[in-house]
Amino acid sequence: MAPEIELTTKKLGEIKDNCLVIAFFEDKLKPNDEINNFDKSINNIISNSIKNKDFKAEKNEIETFYLNNKNLKYLALLGLGKEKDFNLNKLMDTVSNLSKKLRNSDIKTFTLDLNSFKNKNFDHNTYLEKISQAAVLSMYQFNKFKTKDLDKIKSITKAAIIVDNKDLKKSQKIIDDAAIYTEAVNKTRDLINTPPNVATPVYVADYAQKTAKENNLKCTILDEKQIEKLGMGCIMAVAKGSVNKPRLVILEYNGNGSDKPIVLVGKGITFDTGGINVKPSSYMTTMKDDKAGACGVINILEACRKLKLKANVIGMAVLAENMVSDKAYKPDDVLTSHSGLTVEVTNTDAEGRLVLADALSYSLKYKPKAIIDIATLTGASIIALGYFASPVVGNDQKLIDQIKQASETSLEKIWQFPLWEEYSELIKSDIADVKHLNEGIDAGVMVGGIFLENFVEDIPWAHLDIGNTVWAKQEKGYTVKGATGFSVLLLLNLLRDWK
């Protein structure tokens, strides 16, 4: 369970909690008047620790003191490093590391002094949002399938943030909205982490339908017969090797009257063996994450409703399994897509772009003002950018620039790659309209993008390849092991600030 975030306007000396957290910069170790007055009430622990250099306020330094007075059990001094080096990424990392240390020390609740974070770049609203998000996202744990030692699982149940009374109403709105954002991320993490024997295409479609019912969203689910009747030959080809049949989910949120919608299309391969071009075993063990784009889209639509965003948003989740069987599609097959374009298959492990092709083409019926697809599309994204930033490509610079701005505010890193026309030469086919993959490993991210561009006509479109950011092998800041939920914060910021 995620910790509850609360606000308080109490003075430091009035706080009653398990732990009070006060932050310091390495080059600003002089306590202010309020901290000095509080320090006197606890036998000058703070000033003595600074004087004796027991606490230097180095980045991520955390010194915890046992008080056990009538109001407080512990005091934690939090180091922020040098003021000039501090930024929002370091803020989230610092609060995340603090939360984890307190949790591991079995401290279940704490109160944090927001004023102690003030610096030359301090913005009250932004800091409040990021601290709230970090405290919740860093505490995520996926324990749904554990049955043993549940009583040994440690957690933070509540975190309070001290704010000024004059800011209380606005601050509460920021906290409430931040809770919706983090809930969307953690629900996405839950769904991605759910194993493939449970989270089949039908399971994810049912999850979407339940979400829609609870949030008054319009929901349409196309089954395999409807998908086939609509001429979506690419989806059907990818899915036919599995006993679990495909689904295409369409969720609709109307928050802005008759305005044209923004369409989000999420790839949802609930498990990817690679098909006939089967993956090496070492690449297959986390392939439940190949549904991440679709999982994110479903929870983003729920968040749109809860946030009451002034936008019309359609979320499409294209769901299938890519399995090996005597019915599976093959290299050398030629498929007829929903758009009518014929596609030569060169590798069955590049199935994501095939299901997206049909979904992108189908999305045109909604006459969108923009289309954004989100997909774990390539391993090439890892080679290009590592695990901390995702590539984005598209046909409209204004849309890309809005996504870049959302990246700045959400702190989810993206980097624009080009879609030069030379890349289209790599997917020319001798026997069909287009190949879905080039030979060799050249320009993997761009080739995936240049293929998808064939199916969006002249609508502003962007493709976000989250193949490298979807899964974390180690913890860093608010990112925990397993599914990251990457793209949810980015896209919610984009929709909130849409111009």
| Residues classed as catalytic | 279, 353
Cα 320 from Cα 203, distance rounded (Å): 11
Helix (H), strand (E) at residue 263: strand 262-272
Say which residues have a Cβ less than 8 Å from residue 220's Cβ, sequence separation at least 6.
249, 250, 252
Say which residues have a Cβ less than 8 Å from residue 390's Cβ, sequence separation at least 6.
381, 412, 413, 414, 415, 464, 465, 466, 467, 468, 469, 486, 487
Half-sphere exposure (CA, 13 Å, Cβ side) for 241? 24
Estimate the share of the chain in helix, then strand, then coil, as percent rounded to the nearest 5.
40, 20, 35
DSSP label at residue 492: H
Backbone φ, ψ for residue 280 (5° rounding): -60, 150
Cα 239 from Cα 187, distance rounded (Å): 26
In angstroms and rounded to an integer, the radius of gyration of the C-alpha atoms of the chain is: 25
Cα 234 from Cα 265, distance rounded (Å): 15
Number of Cβ within 10 Å of residue 210's Cβ equals 12
**CA distance to 27, 128, 218, per residue, from 77 (Å):** 15, 19, 49
Using alpha carbons, select from 361, 412, 344, 425 the residue that is nearest to residue 133.
412
Tokens (6 digits) for 315: 């979320």
Tokens (6 digits) for 440: 């060799």
Contact (Cβ atoms closer than 8 angstroms) between residue 11 and residue 34: yes
